[in-house]
Amino acid sequence: MCRLSIVLPAKNEEVGIAKTLPLIRELYPDAEIIVVNDGSTDGTAAVVESVPDAICITHPVSIGNGGAIKTGARAATGDIVVFMDADGQHDPHDIERLLKPFETGFDMVVGSRGRSSQASWLRAVANRGFNRLATYMTGFEIQDLTSGFRAVRRDKFLSILYLLPNKFSYPTTSTMAFFRSGYFVGYEPIVAAQRSGNGSHIKIIRDGFRFLIIILKIGALYSPMRLFLPISLFMFSIATFYYMYTFFSAGRFTNMGMLLYMSSLSTFLIGIVSEQVSALHYKDTSRRFQR
């Protein structure tokens, strides 16, 4: 039987974690529970210490949600690691549903939130857009790119740990990296409750732009030609239309037309080189088959 570790990153979450931890211990008395206290200034650490056999790892300063996840992953000893928020949004009863697909060979199972679980309509629209863009980048259907409630095989997760950022976007990066490595990713529908304690640390406009940049970065790392080829073709089309315009209006081929054609070619060549660099990143984790 696989040993289970449950990791919760926490920053000033004493209210939410006081509700979540006892229930996790009740449901999984033999599981390893690790709370990574990411520089909290409230009583988060004291709450963790009051729960039997719960492990509290404290960062002297806050380094971000992703950094806390990396600390927890390195400290975990279980074959399967469940990551979940400490703010009460994720129901510990759903852990069992995330673990079930591992029996059929999955390497990561993500708790996929529906529309009712989104904090606002704006966030729902943004997440839907991110999911579609990431699906295009990877070539696989991604139902919930940003869900922090997921279970992974620890050895597989550690193989892509160096790719993860220290901030909030570890779900985005880990999902796309798992697909790129040829690991099997599945989804289980969940309902996320309203968070307890402090308000969300994510700001829609500021962090939404960051999510977009991260998707483009990981897309370039995952499958660069899916990013660079459309840009190259777009520039080639503009160059061609501009050339036709100057040819029929002035009867000549201009320097601007040449610049646009060269830019299109350069973008295409950058995509080819990036494909080779991407392959080097995953040479130790790639498998010959993908789901």
Dist. CA 18–CA 36, nearest whole Å: 14
CA 276 to centroid of chain Cα atoms = 23
Q: Name the token pair of 246.
A: 């100057």
**Per-residue model confidence (pLDDT) at position 288:** 37
Do 78 and 7 meet the contact criterion of CB atoms below 8 Å apart? no
Residue 108 sits at φ, ψ, to 5 deg, of -145, 135
Helices 121-138 + 224-250 axis angle, to 10? 90
Going by C-beta distance under 8 Å and a sequence separation of 6 or more, which residues neighbour residue 176? 134, 137, 138, 142, 145, 215, 218, 219, 222
Dist. CA 117–CA 92, nearest whole Å: 16
Do 44 and 22 meet the contact criterion of CB atoms below 8 Å apart? no
Other CB atoms closer than 10 Å to residue 162's CB: what's the count? 9
DSSP 8-state code for residue 196? P
Dist. CA 106–CA 81, nearest whole Å: 13
pLDDT per position in the chain (291 positions), as tens?
Answer: 579 999 999 999 999 999 999 999 999 999 999 999 999 999 999 999 998 899 999 999 999 999 999 999 999 999 999 999 998 889 999 999 999 999 999 999 999 987 655 555 666 777 787 788 888 877 788 889 889 999 999 999 999 998 888 877 788 889 988 988 889 999 999 987 766 555 455 555 666 677 667 667 667 767 788 888 999 999 999 999 999 999 888 888 888 989 999 999 999 999 888 888 777 766 655 443 334
**Per-residue model confidence (pLDDT) at position 268:** 93
SS3 28: coil
**Per-residue model confidence (pLDDT) at position 137:** 78
DSSP 8-state code for residue 54? -
Strand order in the sheet with 150-153: 55-59, 32-38, 4-10, 80-83, 150-153, 108-113, 185-190
